[in-house]
Amino acid sequence: MDSPSRFSVIVIGAGISGISAAKVLAENGIDDLLILEASDRIGGRIRKEKFGGVTVELGAGWIAGVGGKESNPVWELASGSGLRTCLSDYSNARYNIYDRSGKIFPSGIAADSYKKAVDSAIQKLRDQEDDDDISTAIESTSAPKTPIELAIDFILHDFEMAEVEPISTYVDFGEREFLVADERGYEHLLYKMAQEFLLTSEEGKILDNRLKLNKVVRELQHSRNGVTVKTEDGCVYEANYVILSVSIGVLQSDLIAFKPPLPRWKKEAIEKCDVMVYTKIFLKFPYKFWPYGPEKEFFIYAHERRGYFTFWQHMENAYPGSNILVVTLTNEESKRVEAQPDAETLKEAMGVLRDMFGPDIPDAIDIIVPRWWNNRFQRGSYSNYPIISNDQVVQDMKAPVGCIFFTGEHTSERFNGYVHGGYLAGIETSKALLEEIKKERKNENQTFLLEPLLAFTGSLTLKQTEPVSSLQKCDIPTQLYLSKGNFGISEAIL
Ligand SMILES: Cc1cc2nc3c(=O)[nH]c(=O)nc-3n(C[C@H](O)[C@H](O)[C@H](O)COP(=O)(O)OP(=O)(O)OC[C@H]3O[C@@H](n4cnc5c(N)ncnc54)[C@H](O)[C@@H]3O)c2cc1C
């Protein structure tokens, strides 16, 4: 068992936001930091798996928001490390919509339905902009009825970033999306970023260094003097500050106990934020039976049950010859398939594919069904609150509570739900913490300089360790000296 040790900062979680936060701290001279990660790997919701002879991305797979006026920093990192990607445009899906008898909807009808759905979503969003109640905004944006409308509505509201997507997501970084198609996986970027915090053996095995794996944080005891962090394996760590980067789903669960409990405004913000469950199911086939030109990369199954195996993608563009299809499920459908055996999910998926491509297609020979909802270190895929509706929720979400600073994609004002949102949030949180540390140090120096004055006046009963901010509140002459500005106290005495 580790003995209690004290660090300047403990970062909880080694996903993109935790690692980017730790890097900024280290670059700014905070060397005695520690990263505690619950799972046995780094990356969090960026996760690769070997499947059907290639690398598939169970979590984030697209680098979204590329090609705009501003540069997406994650795209820069990917380009810098030579990550293999390919351009991916799922908007083509609207021209490949199959009904249950396998007929493709004529493109005019599909395009028309798509436009109507987009227009109505945008209009409803505008109507909701002044509405404080986020849940109303989410619920009221869909009232389509026909299978094709249901399918398109699913693409707009569930497959992508729900209500946020049509209006504001890509304003700065551009609209192009690239699919990561690299054997090393998207997580390669994370391992590169985290290099300085990891010690690896010659065989490449990760040894503990400043990044500790398999450390499930269960309790954060916090006061103005710092935070005591307790992990499931009985270890105790002390820190002046904590950066908490766990997902919104984890915050909503009872995995981490806060002592004392978080204030009401914080709890309310956490509860108000919706958690999206988004599941990519991969199926491996002995051969291709679907059309596989680039413009056929995505196709839609229009069913009267909204979100029932609706959105499909073939992986020929990313990995030619891989014979892999991906189908995306969300929310209640995701939870439903997570709860059933994979064989059942395979049967359902095959039923849908046979509706589209006929009874003679071969059975899949392998399947992966990720379980983001049931993973207690995730409890969902990403945050999904419409940022345009309630800015206060986002502000409260990221505001620190005492010595605990919050980060993660859910704290990103502009890009919540995205990898670059998590990356930028980590940087922003660390910068806020560095400011706080700077202020704290200044206060300590001023307190130190105050000591002679305290002795000199003899009339003060304040503790010498009291920060200046507290001294400023007292009603003794010291206030006069300090109110002149941030000068040294000797100058004040003069
Ligand atoms: C299926 C799926 C598809 C996605 N697709 C895309 C996409 O195409 N493009 C895109 O940009 N984004 C996508 N995203 C979203 C993107 O993956 C996330 O926004 C981003 O990775 C979140 O990073 P994070 O650091 O905020 O959180 P995380 O990656 O979740 O990191 C938090 C870390 O905290 C750890 N942790 C949790 N609890 C504890 C605890 N008690 N103690 C210690 N550690 C703990 C977790 O294990 C995890 O490693 C997708 C996500 C999913 C799930």
Per-residue model confidence as pLDDT tens for the chain (494 residues)? 445 679 999 999 999 999 999 999 999 999 999 999 999 999 999 999 999 999 999 999 999 888 888 889 999 999 999 999 999 888 788 889 999 999 998 877 777 777 777 777 666 666 655 554 444 444 444 555 788 888 887 887 777 654 444 334 445 677 788 999 999 999 999 999 998 898 777 776 666 589 999 999 999 999 999 999 999 999 999 999 999 999 999 999 999 999 999 999 999 999 988 899 999 999 999 999 999 877 889 999 999 998 999 999 999 999 999 999 999 999 999 999 999 999 999 999 999 999 999 999 999 999 999 999 999 999 999 998 654 556 788 899 999 999 999 999 999 988 888 999 999 999 999 999 999 999 988 887 776 555 555 454 444 433 333 443 333 333 333 332 232 223 233 333 22
* Centroid of ligand 1 to alpha carbon of 425 (angstroms): 13
Q: Whose CA is nearest to atom 14 of ligand 1?
A: 60
Residue 428 marked as a ligand binder:
no
Which of 11, 419, 427, 429, when mutated, tests ligand 1's pocket best, judged by the most ligand atoms within 8 Å of its CB? 419
- Measuring from atom 20 of ligand 1, which residue has the nearest CA? 419
Ligand 1 pocket test target in 246, 258, 412, 430 with most atoms within 8 Å of CB: 246
Start-to-end C-alpha separation, the chain: 54
Is the beta carbon of 289 within 6 A of some atom in ligand 1? no
DSSP 252-303: HTTSSEEESPPPHHHHHHHHHS-EE-EEEEEEE-SS--S--SGGGSEEEE--
Complex prediction ipTM: 0.99
Q: Is 17 annotated as a binding residue?
A: yes
Topology (CATH) of 62-69+80-180+275-368: Polyamine Oxidase; Chain A, domain 2 (3.90.660)
Our answer on whether the CB atom of 144 is closer than 6 Å to any ligand 1 atom is no
Answer yes or no: same fold for 5-47+186-273+385-439 and 62-69+80-180+275-368. Answer: no
Report whether 144 contacts 153 (CB < 8 A): yes
Domain 5-47+186-273+385-439 sits in CATH at 3.50.50.60
Cα–Cα separations (whole angstroms), residue 125 to 121, 128, 272, 386, 387: 6, 5, 18, 9, 11
**283 with 126: CB under 8 angstroms?**
no
- What are the structural domain ranges in the chain? 5-47+186-273+385-439, 62-69+80-180+275-368, 460-493
**38 known ligand binder:** yes
- Judge whether 339 is annotated as a binding position: no
The first and second tokens of residue 337, run together, are 């398939």
Mapped onto helix, strand or coil, the DSSP state of residue 327 is strand
